[in-house]
Amino acid sequence: MSRALSYAILVLTIIAFLLTAAALCTPAWQVVYAREIRQWVQSGLWLSCQTRPNGMYSCTYTFSHDDFDTYFSDEVSGFRTPSFYPWQRTLFHIYLISQAFAMLSLISFCVSVSHSESRLPNILRTVFLFLAAVIAFGCLIAFAVYSYMVEYRFFHVSVSGIYEKHRGYSWYIALTGAFVYLVAIILSVVSVFMQARNSNPTISRQNINSSLQSDFFEYQYHPNRSLESFEDRFAMRTLPPVPRQEKRRQCSNIPFYVSITRYSQFL
């Protein structure tokens, strides 16, 4: 059961990672149709694309401050693509950190397979998934707030040509990936608690077996010592607690034994 749960967490983590990567690689975070120039315009965190009137599809990208500095001019942005803003690049870099934590969670899963007795890899996997999900949700909320502001919400073609941008499929793909991360976190926490619960009886049995083996080897390699000393050591060990049902049965039989004892004394 625990192994099947671990593989389910692995599959969910991979799905969330791929969904987030697909959202980052696509430009449709904000989508607008400019009727004046008859173009669909899509602007993402680092990539902006548009359809030309002749049907041609062209894209521009930005990774540095010099790239989006030239697009602040209204004449240039009206004929090419919307302006690239610094907060878009910042969100993109933060999203990459989230993806890095997701990769670390996958590495922790690989370590947990080879060290199934240790709980540390599973705990690290849960922590990395939690950080990846928190960062992903934070970026989504930040994008929703920024994209709703007036200076980033509208696409200007001319004085009268002002069109409102809407969130596109890329944002919804990223939102789906964040929720898949959340499901993986819940299952990972359940897996950690199941491993902690199942490890305690195993540890106690291992301690008992190791102590018995140590006594056997000690007697085997020290034949001059009597066997009674080893038997005494074994007898001095604490016994397991009596089950509740057995206690109730003993308590219910006490009056019967007492009555028999009194009857025998009377005879």
Contact in structure between 49 and 27 (CB atoms under 8 Å): yes
Fold category of 1-27+85-198 in CATH: Four Helix Bundle (Hemerythrin (Met), subunit A) (1.20.120)
Contact in structure between 171 and 29 (CB atoms under 8 Å): yes
Q: Residue 182 has what pLDDT?
A: 95
Q: pTM of whole model > 0.95?
A: no
Residue 58 dihedral angles phi and psi, to the nearest 5° = -125, 150
Q: Residue 258 has what pLDDT?
A: 45
Tell me the CA end-to-end span of the chain in Å, nearest whole number.
63
Give me 38's structure tokens. 């008859």
Give the helix ranges, DSSP H, for the chain: 2-25, 65-69, 74-79, 86-114, 120-148, 150-153, 169-221, 227-235, 244-266
DSSP 228-256: HHHHHHHHTSPPPPPPHHHHHHHHHHHHH
Nearest to 188 by CA among 112, 97, 98: 112
How would you classify the pairing of strands 57-61 and 47-51? antiparallel
C-alpha to C-alpha distance for 135 and 208, rounded to whole angstroms: 46
CB atoms near residue 73 (< 10 Å): 11
How would you classify the pairing of strands 166-167 and 162-164? unpaired
User: Where in the chain are the domains?
Assistant: 1-27+85-198
Nearest to 103 by CA among 205, 215, 181, 182: 181
The one-digit pLDDT tens for each residue of the chain (267 residues) are: 577 888 899 999 999 999 999 999 999 999 998 888 788 888 889 888 887 767 777 888 776 555 544 444 444 444 445 667 889 989 999 999 999 999 999 999 888 877 766 788 889 999 999 999 999 999 999 999 999 998 888 887 776 678 899 999 999 999 999 999 999 999 999 988 887 777 655 444 555 455 545 555 554 545 555 544 545 555 555 556 666 665 566 555 555 444 444 444 444
Residue found by looking up tokens 């302006």 in the block:
83
Contact in structure between 100 and 140 (CB atoms under 8 Å): no
